[in-house]
């Protein structure tokens, strides 16, 4: 069983950490930002003052925080992870951040003698709790093999995509697909309801055909019921689409549908919905249509 530092026990991170505990691993948590969750500590996790102390105690150090600046802070602040790692240790960033910044972070960590993996996840809070996350990994094969039992405690579809940064690139691609699927489901249900059909029955009919998808199953139900507690917040999906669009500019690509989905998310944010689940995208479309599929 491994000694694992886990930094970032929020909506996604906490159930991921719990699944590592259930698999028998020992957790070390940092209290540099917030107190360690009491239930993790009660189950045997050890709370320490800062990321450096966590890195000194653990063989693997997992980071699961919202965005690129937070990852950089955890890794390279005074009392950060980089100050506590060295040969034989593996730093695993499971956040969703910039592929370009990831390559820079990896080189700095590897200069200490430690290995670095970027391993962002997909599957949301449901997948985090059920240990069914898809995990997209960038980094050297040896570090990946060492970390694989940890990934298997948290997820099901685990793929080493390539070198450092490639895991994050795969996650950005994932977020493009998810956003466009959410928008497609939202537009379809809005069209059906405005045309006088019961959107719940339309969803039921579509589930058995080629239009069937996990998004239609899970997020379509959220749209119909109006349950937009996150989940995965719109603000975080906006962050991921910003990575896609800025990367596309660097590559000379046009991603028109991604840009459109981002604009609808921005409409939701303007309505006060930055904290809604990303299935709440439908509320931006409803606002523009002056029509609500739930009859609210």
* pLDDT per residue rounded down to tens, the chain (296 residues): 899 999 999 999 999 999 999 999 999 999 999 999 999 999 999 999 999 999 999 999 999 999 999 999 999 999 999 999 999 999 999 999 999 999 999 999 999 999 999 999 999 888 999 999 999 999 999 999 999 999 999 999 999 999 999 999 999 999 999 999 999 999 999 999 999 999 999 999 999 999 999 999 999 999 999 999 988 999 999 999 999 999 999 999 999 999 999 999 999 999 999 999 999 999 999 999 999 999 98
Burial 264-281 (b: 16+ CB within 10 A, else e): bbebbbeeebbbbbbbbb
Q: d(Cα 114, Cα 105) in Å, to the nearest integer?
A: 12
pTM attached to this predicted model: 0.92
pLDDT of residue 99: 96
pLDDT at 78: 96
What per-residue confidence (pLDDT) applies to 296?
85
Report H helices in 43-89. Answer: 51-57, 68-76
Choose among 1, 68, 2, 64: nearest CA to 30.
64
Active site residues: 171
Report residue 64 as tokens. Answer: 């699961």
Show the domains of the chain with their CATH numbers. Answer: 3-163 (3.40.50.720), 170-289 (1.10.1040.10)
38 alpha-carbon distance from chain centroid: 23
Q: What pLDDT shows up at residue 231?
A: 84
Tokens of 199: 């959107």
Residue 121: φ, ψ to 5°: -125, 160
Task: Report yes or no: 125 and 72 within 8 Å, Cβ to Cβ.
Answer: no
């Amino acid at each position: 069983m491994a000694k694992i530092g886990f930094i970032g026990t929020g909506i996604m991170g906490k159930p991921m950490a719990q699944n590592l505990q259930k698999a028998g691993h020992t957790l070390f948590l940092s209290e540099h930002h917030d107190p360690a969750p009491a239930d993790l500590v009660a189950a045997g996790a050890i709370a320490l003052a800062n990321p450096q102390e966590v890195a000194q105690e653990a063989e693997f150090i997992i980071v699961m925080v919202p965005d690129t600046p937070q990852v950089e802070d955890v890794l390279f602040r005074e009392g950060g992870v980089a100050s506590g790692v060295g040969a034989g240790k593996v730093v695993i960033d499971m956040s969703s951040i910039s592929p370009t910044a990831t390559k820079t972070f990896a080189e700095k960590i590897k200069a200490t003698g430690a290995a670095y993996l970027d391993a962002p996840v997909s599957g949301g809070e449901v997948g985090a709790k059920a240990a069914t996350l898809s995990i997209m990994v960038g980094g050297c094969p040896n570090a990946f093999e060492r970390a694989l039992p940890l990934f298997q405690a948290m997820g099901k579809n685990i793929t080493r995509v390539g070198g450092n940064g490639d895991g994050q690139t795969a996650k950005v691609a994932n977020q493009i697909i998810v956003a466009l699927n959410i928008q497609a489901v939202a537009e379809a249900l809005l069209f059906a309801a405005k045309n006088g059909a019961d959107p719940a029955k339309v969803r039921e009919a579509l589930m058995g055909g080629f239009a069937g998808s996990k998004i239609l199953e899970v997020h379509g139900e959220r749209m119909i019921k109006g349950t937009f507690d996150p989940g995965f917040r719109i603000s975080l999906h906006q962050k991921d689409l910003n990575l896609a669009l800025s990367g596309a500019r660097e590559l000379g690509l046009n991603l028109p549908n991604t840009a459109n989905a981002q604009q609808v998310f921005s409409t939701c944010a303007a309505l006060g919905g930055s904290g809604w689940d990303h299935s709440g995208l439908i509320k931006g479309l409803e606002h523009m249509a002056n029509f609500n599929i739930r009859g609210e």
